[in-house]
């Protein structure tokens, strides 16, 4: 496998995971909003500056993304009691519940549709589980 194949495989796996975890009527997020939301899920109660450092986005972009996510009810932003100049961001309980519920969905049907052959789909799922065990 070369770098190009690995890249294409990664993109295809992202497409498949989106099919498993997506729902009709989902909110549409910009790639920047999605990255900020993912960072806040991984790092609760982060400051705008911390999110900026981890994502690599300029601080004004992070602030604007947090503002839009807050307006949609996806995150809460509170002033840090220890430093009134700092804002702490966390996802709402509803977002955490939705992420947990979606992450628990089985990939079997999506993999089965993508491959079309039951035995090969089952083997593919086994290989993905093995790969996840090694890399994650």
Question: Model confidence over 9-31: pLDDT tens digits?
Answer: 999 998 998 888 876 666 778 88
Q: Are 99 and 41 a contacting pair, CB within 8 Å?
A: yes
Distances (CA, A) of 4 to 10, 14, 44, 72: 10, 15, 34, 37
Distance of CA 132 to the CA centre of its chain: 17
Count how many domains the chain has: 2
pTM over 0.75: no
Enclosing domain of residue 79: 29-104
Q: Are 128 and 107 a contacting pair, CB within 8 Å?
A: yes
State whether 85 and 120 are in the same domain: no
Residue 136 tokens, joined = 């994650």
**Banded model confidence at residue 81, pLDDT cuts 50, 70, 90:** confident
């Amino acid at each position: 496998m070369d770098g190009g194949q690995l890249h294409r495989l990664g993109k295809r796996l992202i497409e498949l995971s989106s099919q498993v975890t997506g729902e009709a009527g989902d909110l549409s997020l910009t790639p920047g909003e999605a990255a900020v939301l993912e960072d806040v899920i991984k790092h609760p109660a982060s400051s705008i500056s911390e999110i900026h450092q981890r994502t690599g986005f300029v601080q004004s972009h992070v602030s604007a993304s947090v503002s839009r996510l807050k307006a949609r009810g996806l995150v809460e932003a509170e002033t840090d009691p220890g430093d009134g100049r700092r804002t702490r961001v966390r996802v709402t309980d509803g977002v955490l519940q939705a992420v947990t519920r979606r992450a628990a969905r089985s990939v079997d049907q999506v993999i089965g549709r993508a491959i079309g052959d039951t035995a090969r789909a089952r083997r593919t799922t086994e290989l993905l589980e093995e790969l996840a065990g090694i890399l994650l």
